[in-house]
A and B are shown apart, each in its own frame.
Chain A
Amino acid sequence: MRYLLFALALGMFPTLGFSFEVDNRRIFSAQTESQVLKVISTADLDLFAGVIEAFQSQNPSVSVDYFEVSSTELVKALVEDDAQFDLAVSSAMDLQTKLANDGMALPFRSEFTAQLPEWAHWQDLVFAFTQEPAALVFSARDFDRQSVPRTRQDLIAFMRSHPMQFKNRVGTYDIRSSGLGYLFATQDARTSETYWRLAEVMGNMNAQLYCCSGKMIEDVGSGKLAFAYNVLGSYAAAQTNNQDDIIIVEPSDFTTLMLRSALIPKNAKQPQLAGLFIDHLLSFSLEASKAGDFPFPTLQRDVLEQETALRPIRLGPGLMVYLDRLKRKNFLKAWENAILQKQ
């Protein structure tokens, strides 16, 4: 390797006076360091490492200090702790939008951002660089690739007719702790009433609740779960070691598309460098030749036009509605009623 990698366990860091929780951190040192780009991100470090290394091969004097956190911790770090980061990358579009709306982001313009479609950016503040479907992941032991349910209705019917097979073997996000899970759930509920019926049925099966996609996919692969609902398809596809054990399905009634997005926090020390990194992220989508090197699905305008089932979540103030204190309380209450069957 051309440069040193530090893979450091969380416990080895002093918390630096911050209260947010860091899941993982790595410093990608440049050989001749002149600038440091501090990135706070929800993206899996192992998936993102390739993107950072590609950036460093073009900007060899830049070291990247990468903090992997959950989406709620990301907001906590930027808003409550006022921590200094140059770039915030998150899958929680609603939280990113709220950060920008509340004046926590710096504007950025470049020839790359100018090429973004309308739905892939909000103002000059938030820029989407992936489109990742919320997928169903089935265990290959329980389902046949040909006859796997392809819509939510089919899935509900399947579960109802085979209750014993699914008892305790259904997984989904715990939306109370997972920002992405909450985003997916609220968008599903907004799109179709079927969501609530599905949640009800999953609750009947005593659904297992997870913090993250990775763990869910692992459990589906091992057969612990028969299927998991609203898993990031990109993560499932990236786990190449258990491709035979899982079946990834993008529901054909509708598939919610999450757009992973980046913004430059207002207290960034290197906003120009962060802009360079945003251009780097966008270039995978905007330059066809680079798409293959990207660990995430790139933005694809034409696919959205052809496949009506794909519903990208639009960046914009509408996303802030579900972040409202009362709205969130109501939604979580309804969700708990359905999934936890608490009355």
Chain B
Amino acid sequence: MNDHVTATRSIRRRLIVRLLASAAILAVILFLVVQSFGRQLGQESQDNILAASVTSVLDAVTVQDGALNVDIPYSAFSMLGNISDDRVFYRIEQNQAYLTGYEDLPFAEGLTTESQPAFATEQYLGEDIRLVTASRKLSLNNQPVVVRATIAQTRNGQKQTLRQISQTVLFLGIGFFAIAMVLTFYAAQSTIGPLRRLAASVSRRGPQDLRPVESPVPSEMVPLVRSLNQFIGRLKKSLSQSEEFIAEAAHRVRTPLATVRMQAEVTLRRVERDENREALREMIRAIDESSRAAGQLLDHAMVTFRTDHLVVESFDFQVLVDELVTRLRPIAELKEIDLGWQMGKPALIKGDAILIQNAVRKLIDNAIKYSPTESSIKLTLSQGRSGISLQLIDQGIGFPEKDFELLTDRFVRGSNAQDTIGSGLGLTIADDVANAHGGSLELKNNTEGVGACVTFYLPLR
């Protein structure tokens, strides 16, 4: 059979790659959003303090003795120092003429009188500054005067806060991604889980197991499983049809063969010429072989049918073996073979008695068939904790070493068995029966001397 299946990229890997990519994009977006939010927040808090400062300065503008007086409150500057260690600059103008402060300090454009303070970011003394400009109208000697105040602060504190925020957010993003990674692997694993379970349960099945898959599967897999089940059903049907056909064919062949054999024997008695007798004997031999093969095929069909529908009952395995030995002893005695068998303790077992009887009979038949005359076959029944083994040791030709694996396949016969009539189905039947009961058939050659050792094992369940 061809085991090769063309594989494309695994679903799990695809899932992981896509989920990780989305997590990475989300992490980057998170980083950028929170960072820009932090920047905005930092800017706003600095602007708020600057606005408070400039307001308190403008509030301190008074008219005294016909002149403008600005008495800057101590808090106007100290409040700026409370937030950060930033440098502070200011300028106050009267009708756009310098009054006090830093004469060359820039101011924020776009200030409409009597409105909100205007903010700007500029360069001063080689540093970035954030500045606020606000104005206030006063009446001086009955003339309107506009006092404009600008307060500026370097942005080192804000930059440092931003750096801290960035760092925190970076860790947040990395943490987010790490968690997403763990969840991704978990999600991919659990998504792929039902597929793996299905694959495992199908590949775990024995060669005869053609039951439909019944365990529940995710809805996406239902069409696949349904098709699989239909496929299994068709396979099973076609298999059973061919088994039935073989059984039918064997049955139909066996009856005429018996008639032909009888006629051949009758004719043998009448014929006197030696070459004719020899030809008839050869004919009878061939008919026997065909008839035996047909019988075995029928047996095999029966076994196959019954293993699908096991009739489980409790019985004493020892009694079963004893009855078989009693029935087969006359055949053994024809070849002067001694069947060694001792009754021991009762061996109660659960299983299909007819199948097991058939299997054990095949094993004893085989042993007798491949044993030379005047030899012995020894049967031993031993009970272990988990099961019962029947061991058959003969002094026959044994098994060829290279064939152990193949001998239980249908119609395969040992390479040293060409001289004996056989169909190659006996061991197959015994093996199938053992497997159907969860047991096993073990074939080996005797370590001392000649002969085979066959162990038929059934578990106690």
Binding site for B on A (CB under 8 A): 100-103, 122-123, 190, 314, 316-322, 324-327, 330
Residues of A within 8 A of B99 (CB): 326
- Sample of 10 further A-B pairs with CB below 8 A, known A318-B75, A321-B78, A326-B92: A101-B88, A317-B77, A317-B81, A318-B81, A321-B72, A321-B73, A324-B70, A324-B72, A324-B100, A326-B72
Which residues from chain B contact A123 at a C-beta distance below 8 Å? 85, 87, 156
State in angstroms the CA–CA spacing of A326 and B91 once bound together: 12
A316 touches B69 (CB 8 A): no
Q: Which residues of B contact A326 (CB under 8 A)?
A: 69-72, 92, 99-100
A319 to B76, CA, bound (A): 11
Cross-interface CB contact of B78 among A102, A122, A314, A327, cutoff 8 Å = A314
Separation of A319 and B70 alpha carbons in the complex (Å): 16
**In whole angstroms, what is the CA distance A17 to B104 when docked?**
28
Query: Which of A103, A317, A318, A321 has most chain B Cβ within 10 Å?
Result: A317
Q: Mark B56-80, 1 if CB is under 8 A from A, else 0.
A: 0000000000000111111111101
List 16 contacting pairs A-B, 8 Å CB cutoff, sorted by A: A100-B87, A103-B87, A103-B125, A314-B81, A318-B75, A319-B77, A321-B72, A321-B74, A321-B78, A324-B72, A324-B100, A325-B101, A326-B99, A326-B100, A327-B72, A330-B71
Which residues of chain B are within 8 angstroms of A318 by Cβ–Cβ distance?
A: 74-75, 77-78, 81
Distance from A318 Cβ to chain B, minimum over Cβ atoms (Å)? 3
Q: Measured between alpha carbons, how far is A343 from B74 in the docked complex, in Å?
A: 27
Asked if residues A321 and B100 are in contact (CB atoms below 8 Å), the reply is no
Q: Chain A contacts of B71 at CB under 8 A?
A: 326-327, 330
Which 5 interchain pairs have the tightest Cβ spacing?
A318-B78, A316-B81, A317-B88, A317-B77, A123-B85
Residues of B within 8 A of A317 (CB): 77-78, 80-81, 86-88
Q: How far is the CA of A123 from the CA of B69 in the complex (A)?
A: 32
Q: Beyond A314-B78, A317-B80, is A330–B69 a contact (Cβ under 8 Å)? A: yes
Q: Is the CB of B70 within 8 A of A316?
A: no
Nearest CB in chain A: distance from B287 CB, A: 112
**Chain B residues proximal to chain A, CB less than 8 Å:** 69-78, 80-81, 85-89, 92, 99-101, 125-127, 156
Kindly state the separation between the CA atoms of A324 and B88 in the bound complex, as whole angstroms: 13
Contacts of A330 in B (CB 8 A): 69, 71
Nearest A residue to B101, CB-CB: A324
Taking the closest CB of chain B, its distance from the CB of A138, in whole angstroms, is 30
Determine whether the beta carbon of A320 is less than 8 Å from that of B85: no
- Whether B88 and A320, one on each chain, are in contact in the complex, defined by CB atoms closer than 8 angstroms, is yes
* A210 CB, min distance to chain B CBs, angstroms: 26
Task: Evaluate whether A190 and B80 lie within 8 angstroms (CB atoms) in the complex, with A101-B87, A324-B101, A326-B69 already known.
Answer: no
Contacts of B72 in A (CB 8 A): 321, 324, 326-327
Measured CB to CB, the closest approach of chain A to B91, in angstroms, equals 11
Tell me which residues across on chain A come within 8 A of B74, comparing CB atoms: 190, 318, 321-322
A326-B74 Cα distance, complex, nearest whole Å: 13
C-alpha spacing A333/B73, complex, angstroms: 17
Cβ distance A99 to chain B, nearest Cβ, rounded Å? 11
Q: How far is the CA of A100 from the CA of B70 in the complex (A)?
A: 24
State the CA gap A26–B101 with chains docked (Å).
Answer: 37
| Cα(A314)–Cα(B80), bound, Å | 13
Q: How far is the CA of A225 from the CA of B25 in the complex (A)?
A: 79
A330 to B74, CA, bound (A): 14
Q: Is the CB of A122 within 8 A of B101?
A: no
Cα of A173 to Cα of B455 in the assembled complex, Å: 121
Q: Which residues of B contact A100 (CB under 8 A)?
A: 87
**Which residues of B lie under 8 Å from residue A103 when comparing CB positions?**
87, 125-127
Measured between beta carbons, the chain A residues less than 8 angstroms from B87 are: 100-103, 123, 317
Contact A321–B77 (Cβ < 8 Å) = yes
User: What residues of chain A lie closer than 8 Å to B127, measured between beta carbons?
Assistant: 103
Nearest B residue to A186 by beta-carbon distance?
B74
CA distance A316 to B86 in the complex (A): 9
Cα–Cα distance between A327 and B72 once the two chains are bound (Å)? 7
Given contacts A103-B125, A330-B69, contact A321 B85 (CB under 8 A): no
**Cα of A219 to Cα of B77 in the assembled complex, Å:** 38
Which residues on the B side are within 8 Å of A322 (C-beta)? 74
Query: Once bound together, how far apart are the Cα atoms of A326 and B99, in whole Å?
Result: 8
Given known A321-B73, A324-B72, A326-B71, contact A316–B100 (CB-CB < 8 A):
no
Q: Roughly how many angstroms separate A326 CA and B85 CA in the complex, as a whole number?
A: 25
Pair A327/B85 contact, Cβ less than 8 Å: no
Q: Please give the distance in Å from A79's CB to the nearest CB on chain B.
A: 13
Nearest-Cβ distance from residue B275 to partner chain A, whole angstroms: 124
Chain B residues, Cβ within 8 Å of A319: 77
Contacts of A316 in B (CB 8 A): 77-78, 81, 85
In the bound complex, CA of A300 to CA of B130 (Å)? 36
Distance from A225 Cβ to chain B, minimum over Cβ atoms (Å): 31
**B78 / chain A contacts, CB cutoff of 8 Å:** 314, 316-318, 321
Q: Which residues of B contact A102 (CB under 8 A)?
A: 87, 125
Contact between chains at B100 and A325 (CB < 8 Å):
yes
Cβ A321 vs Cβ B81 within 8 A = no
- Shortest Cβ gap from A76 to chain B (Å): 18
| A39–B32 alpha-carbon span in the complex (Å) | 49
| Given known contacts A103-B125, A103-B126, A316-B81, A321 and B76 CB-to-CB distance under 8 angstroms | yes
Quote the shortest CB–CB distance from A109 to chain B (angstroms). Answer: 13
| Across-interface contacts of B156 in A (CB, < 8 A) | 123
B67 nearest in chain A by CB position = A326
Residue on A nearest B75 in the bound complex, by CB = A318
- Among B72, B80, B85, the most chain A Cβ lie within 10 Å of the Cβ of B85
Chain B residues, Cβ within 8 Å of A325: 100-101
Beyond A190-B74, A320-B77, A326-B99, whether A122 also contacts B85 by CB under 8 A is yes
Could you say which residues of chain B place their CB within 8 Å of the CB of A320? 77, 88
Cβ–Cβ < 8 Å partners of B100 in chain A: 324-327
Q: Which one of A102, A190, A314, A318 has the greatest number of beta carbons of chain B within 10 Å?
A: A318
A325 to B69, CA, bound (A): 11
- Residue of A with least CB distance to B89: A101
Q: What is the chain B residue whose CB lies nearest that of A123?
A: B85
Among residues of A, the one whose C-beta sits closest to the C-beta of B79 is: A318
Asked, given contacts A103-B125, A103-B126, A123-B85, whether A327 binds B70 with beta carbons under 8 Å apart, the answer is yes
CB proximity of B261 to chain A, nearest CB, Å:
115
- From B72, B92, B101, B125, residue with most partner A Cβ within 10 Å: B72
Bound-state CA distance A101–B77 (Å) is 12
Closest beta carbon of chain A to B140's beta carbon, Å: 15
Which residue of chain A has its CB nearest to the CB of B76? A321
What's the Cα separation between A322 and B78 when bound, in Å?
A: 12
